Amino acid sequence: MALSTGSEIERLLERAESRLLEMSIDAQRAEWIYSTYITPDSEALSARAYARLIATTVDLAKETTRLPPADASSPDARKVKLLRLMLTLVAPSDAADSEELTRLVATMQGKYAKGRHVPKGATDSADLQGLSHILLESRDPDVLEDAWTGWHRVGRAMRPEFVRYVDLANRGARELGFEDTGAMWRSKYDMEPAAFSREVDRLWEEVRPLYVALHSYVRRRLRDTFGPDRVPESGPIPAHLLGNMWAQSWEGIYPLLAPRETRPAIDLTKILLERKTTPVEMVRYAERFFVSLGFDPLPASFWERSMLVRPRDREVVCHASAWDVDFADDLRIKMCIEATGEDFRTIHHELGHNYYQRAYARQPFLFRDSAHDGFHEAVGDTISLSVTPEYLARIGLVDETSPPDDDIGLLLHRALEKVAFLPFGLSVDAWRWDVFSGAVPPEQYNRAWWEIRRRYQGVAPPGERTEGEFDPGAKYHVPANVPYMRYFLAHILQFQFHRALAREMGATGPLHRTSIYGSLAAGRRLRTMLEMGQSEEWPSALEAIAGERTMSARGLLEYFAPLKRWLDEQNRDAPSGW
């Protein structure tokens, strides 16, 4: 096939970038109003603006398939590729099928949002938040199993819609030239879909020994707490005992797992409350972190337009998020800030998104995003890794720090958050890739879900699960059509970034005690990568920040090396694996 003329591609891309920028700004503004002022009218206007953006994006993406290919090495060819990959859900051309697909996703999200269960011993029903609190706080295994089972019933009713959604989504993906929706998602990573699957498996094998050591330690300590009739000596851990509805992070049960003799952790929440720290002051701490790296202060509009506290007069979406409303300098965060250590770290994370958005704002519109979706999450998490005891001392929140050789408790708590997440972050999309490809047919959805979670996570449901259930539907990202692999990649990349920036600033101490706060050298290296956006393939962006072109778990393994040695000692006589 002959190459298309530059004028054909240039005209299409010029039109696409102009229209999509305008419509994206409209959609962002409508979504902001809806998220910060929830009414039926604001919801309708937001949905309408988003639907127009999706329809236009799909039309433009399909228009590119009718043009002969451009020179593969040109920026225009990259823009064409990114245009085809902008959406995670592509509706079929048939108007009725397109409308049905949109309705199916909305219906599944609605059923998820309305999920309720009356917990054991209660009289009123509880939503996901209430049931999650039970998993976090109760130590009665029967109560835990009831809360877990009660929430997972939410998937039953959406199973027929999900089967139909898979069929229609695949039709749309094939119209853009992809084998299926899973292949389309994997194509976003600048490699063939099969090659990306192998890359994910390679990264998992790097971190698996650390996860297995953590799993063995946790299983033994839970066996001590709940008894041998509830927790096996070997084999998978019952998922409902891990303090989280999806067993994706285990820090909630840290009190059951803490080393026998460990110093109390820094109580940042107590410090912030004693100082009467306001939400604005919380954000100022994070802004000063970036200024210390050589970045400019946030624009005045950020302070005028962000939502930092829960309003008293209306309903809002409090889930923390970072916004780039005009894809230039209208940066905002939306968050109901409380004076807690968790929110302090979250704000540093969210401003990581904002400074990334600002850095690539000079790129053409189709390049105004992170190198791949894992990079955006990883940048925010990299900044959060620098919220160390040393950082807190330098900014005057604590007076002194303890020696790093007393950090096993700190590292264990962080591993229960970061390391425990890895196999779950991989499992969600590994299952969906098989579903989209047809390797897992509808009559095996639930069995395959638990097979893959046992294989990677070493967890099992508390009782028998049949095909009458649809347990994947109990995780929001599945009915909402949100790809999940970005979180697995971010949990690898954040440590790779952190290690590289620590080396750039000449740090010599333990990686888990290193903060890049105040390092202009680290800031310059970070900025170089941020400014690239997605103008080049992600290995080039990775090289800019880490000096290497391959994703690697070496940073994560170095960070947790002291903990791994301690876990191996604790597990000396305990069964390993499942």
Catalytic residues: 350, 477
Pairing of strands 459-460, 321-324: unpaired
- Provide φ and ψ at 237, rounded to 5°: -85, 135
Closest CA to 356 of 317, 386, 323, 389: 323
Return the structure tokens found at 102. 């949109």
- Hey, CA dihedral for 55, 60, 66, 71, is it positive or negative? negative
Over 238-305, what HEC string results?
EHHHCCCCCCCCCHHHHHHHCCCCCCCCCCHHHHHHHCCCCHHHHHHHHHHHHHHCCCCCCCHHHHHH
Q: Let me know: does 150 contact 119? Beta carbons within 8 Å.
A: yes
Question: CA–CA separation, 379 vs 376, rounded Å?
Answer: 5
| Residue 500 near residue 521 (C-beta atoms within 8 A) | no
Q: Assess contact for 525 and 542: CB atoms under 8 A.
A: no
How far out from the chain centre does Cα 375 lie? 10
Kind of pairing between the strands at 459-460 and 237-238:
parallel
| Backbone φ and ψ of 475, nearest 5° | -110, 120
Chain length of the chain = 578
Is 420 strand, coil or helix? coil
How far apart CA 158 and CA 76 sit, in angstroms, is: 41
